[in-house]
């Protein structure tokens, strides 16, 4: 795992000044999606309060060696230019076969019309194009369904994009 960038470190230090109960260790920083535009679009859904869930492939975690998300874990969310914009805390993690992901999780992801049909079509396309594992796509592949809560920016702070 790479060391956090100076901008992520400064961002986390600012968040800790606002909320000293946050851990001193800078959490993992990552962005949604596979492209800068996709990262920004999904981040916008989070900041608007529409998106409080995400999904990834267990096979990708195995291929990259990245650790699985854990309940209670903090994350710094980056925009499409790799600048920190939000802090999330993971509230639930479940591993479910692709063809058994439910409508509630599809709604939580906040994308498209928020239906399970949309979720399945868009995620199959996404993982066929962007998966990091050599296994490809399968209808029963294990999906890591994660739910989270937005900690920062708080509702009153969302009009400002300042990181300090």
Average pLDDT score, the chain: 93
Q: Per the omega criterion (within 30 degrees of 0), is the bond before 153 cis?
A: yes
For Cα atoms 125, 131, 135, give the angle at the middle one, nearest 5 degrees.
105
Give me the pLDDT at residue 153, please: 97
Structural domain 6-156, CATH architecture: Roll (3.10)
List pLDDT tens digits, range 17-68.
999 999 999 999 999 999 999 999 999 999 999 999 999 999 999 999 999 9
Q: Sorting pLDDT into bands at 50, 70 and 90, what band is 2?
A: confident
**3-state class (DSSP) for residue 32:** coil
For residue 31 the two structure tokens come to 């962005």
Give me the pLDDT at residue 164, please: 42
Output the furthest CA–CA distance in the chain (Å, rounded).
45
Contacts of 16 (CB under 8 A, 6+ apart): 22, 24
Give me the pLDDT at residue 1, please: 61
Structural domain boundaries in the chain: 6-156
Give me the pLDDT at residue 156, please: 60
Give me the pLDDT at residue 4, please: 92
List pLDDT tens digits, range 92-126.
999 999 999 999 999 999 999 999 999 999 999 99
Q: Residue 20's Cα: distance from chain center in Å?
A: 23
Distance CA 85, CA 161 (A): 7
List pLDDT tens digits, range 126-162.
999 999 899 989 999 999 999 999 999 986 665 444 4
Give me the pLDDT at residue 163, please: 44
**3-state class (DSSP) for residue 95:** strand
Contacts for 39-47: CB closer than 8 Å, 24+ residues apart: 39/78, 39/79, 39/80, 40/79, 40/80, 42/111, 43/77, 43/79, 43/80, 43/85, 43/86, 45/110, 45/111, 46/77, 46/86, 46/88, 46/110, 46/150, 47/85, 47/86, 47/150, 47/153, 47/158
List pLDDT tens digits, range 71-81.
999 999 999 99
């Amino acid at each position: 795992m790479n060391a956090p960038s100076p901008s992520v470190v400064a961002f986390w230090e600012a968040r800790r000044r606002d909320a000293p109960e946050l851990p001193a260790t800078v959490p993992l920083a990552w962005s949604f999606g596979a492209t800068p535009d996709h990262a920004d679009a999904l981040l916008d859904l989070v900041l608007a309060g529409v998106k409080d869930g995400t999904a990834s492939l267990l096979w990708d975690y195995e291929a990259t060696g990245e650790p699985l998300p854990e309940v209670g874990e903090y994350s710094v969310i980056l925009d499409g230019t790799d600048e920190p914009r939000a802090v999330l805390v993971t509230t639930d993690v479940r591993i479910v076969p692709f063809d058994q992901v439910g409508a509630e999780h599809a709604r939580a992801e906040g994308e498209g019309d928020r239906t399970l049909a949309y979720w399945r079509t868009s995620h199959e396309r996404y993982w066929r194009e962007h998966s990091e594992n050599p296994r490809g796509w399968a209808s029963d592949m294990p999906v890591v369904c994660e739910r989270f809560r937005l900690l920062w920016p708080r509702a009153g702070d969302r009009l400002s994009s300042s990181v300090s």
